[in-house]
Amino acid sequence: MQALIHVIETYGLWVVFFSVLLDQGGLPTPSYAPMIVTAALAADAGEPLWPILLVGSMAALLADILWFAGGRRYGAQLLRLMCRISLSPDSCVGTTRRIYEKFGAPSLMLAKYIPGFAAVSTTLAGQAGTSWPRFLVFDFLGGVLWVSGAVTLGAVFHEAVEVLLVTLEDLGHIAVLLLLVALALFLAYKFWERHRFLREIRMTRISSDQLRAEMQAMPGLLIVDVRSAESRSRSGWIAGSINVRDVAELKVDPDSAIVVYCDCPNDASAAVVARRLKAMGFKHVRPLAGGISAWRALGFPVEQSGASATATN
């Protein structure tokens, strides 16, 4: 533990830079605690705090720029990849999308305070076509607010932090073991949470090819679009689908065949709505595998702004 404290005292700004960069880059590494400790040690030594604020903010901005650029170039593909490697439930994408579509780029100022929102929100900002200047201004302000919170805590409670560090130093190897156990428990909880969510949404899907065939053979097939109105307007919708945000709005026969679709990883939002419909007594409900992205990838027609269009690969 003494060696760790020595590293922070000697290379504090580098520790802040890389811990924030890795954390905001999507890895489950702590960054807030190193910033608090670095600020506390700086306050004890009478050193200025602004370098910590600047380095932390720039590291956060750099990581977010990478996510933003990836969102502009790869969009939904990057979001799906994020959910495959992330321990957070895929539903975080749907929640984040609704928040960003409601408040736009200004929501980036508080993104880092909301679990599961930071990296996803910057990727969505890129996918939504937010301009570079607008993104850089609001994201940098958000980074400054987030880092300043840690710096302020370290400066105000530097004496308490010093007592804690002394206690950890006295515990020696036991302190390191406790920290490793706490990290392992956190990762285990996040893994269990994601596994439980994926198990809950596991059900039979219908492919885009199958849906296309059923639309031609079953005129009464009900297709439900559970995306936000903004997403529907921006990327178009499957012809004949209805936009529903509350399944209680559906006033149809429980024996009706229903297909639900979204544009989120693992069809999470569609699967959640499909399970809710089944619980309400609807017997023939299936999510569309791959959502509207899979539909468009096959070149099937979509409607947009009142006009029909054929998607291209």
* Tokens, residue 226: 């559970």
Distant-in-sequence, close-in-space partners of 39: CB < 8 Å, separation ≥ 6: 49, 52, 150, 151, 152, 153, 154, 155, 158
DSSP labels, 44-70: HHT--SHHHHHHHHHHHHHHHHHHHHH
The CB-based long-range contact list for 100-105 (8 Å cut-off, 24+ gap) reads 100/124, 100/125, 100/128, 101/128, 101/228, 101/230, 101/231, 104/130, 105/130, 105/134, 105/135, 105/137, 105/138
Q: Which residue has the tokens 């749907």?
A: 94
Identify which of 32, 111, 28, 23 has the alpha carbon closest to the alpha carbon of residue 63.
23
Residue pair 288/214 in contact (Cβ under 8 Å)? The answer is no
pLDDT tens for 210-259 read 999 999 999 889 999 988 887 788 789 999 999 987 787 788 888 899 99
| Domains identified in the chain and CATH numbers | 2-200 (no CATH), 208-310 (3.40.250.10)
Three-state DSSP at 313 gives: coil
The model's pTM: 0.71
301 residue type, one letter? P
Other C-beta atoms lying within 10 Å of the C-beta of residue 7: 12
pLDDT per residue as tens, the chain (313 positions) = 556 566 677 788 999 999 999 889 877 778 998 999 999 999 998 999 999 999 999 999 999 999 999 989 887 778 777 766 555 544 556 667 777 878 889 999 988 887 667 788 898 899 888 999 999 999 999 999 999 999 999 999 999 988 887 777 777 678 778 778 887 887 787 778 777 766 777 888 999 999 999 999 998 899 999 888 877 887 899 999 999 877 877 888 888 999 999 887 778 888 888 988 998 889 899 999 989 989 998 999 999 875 444 443 3
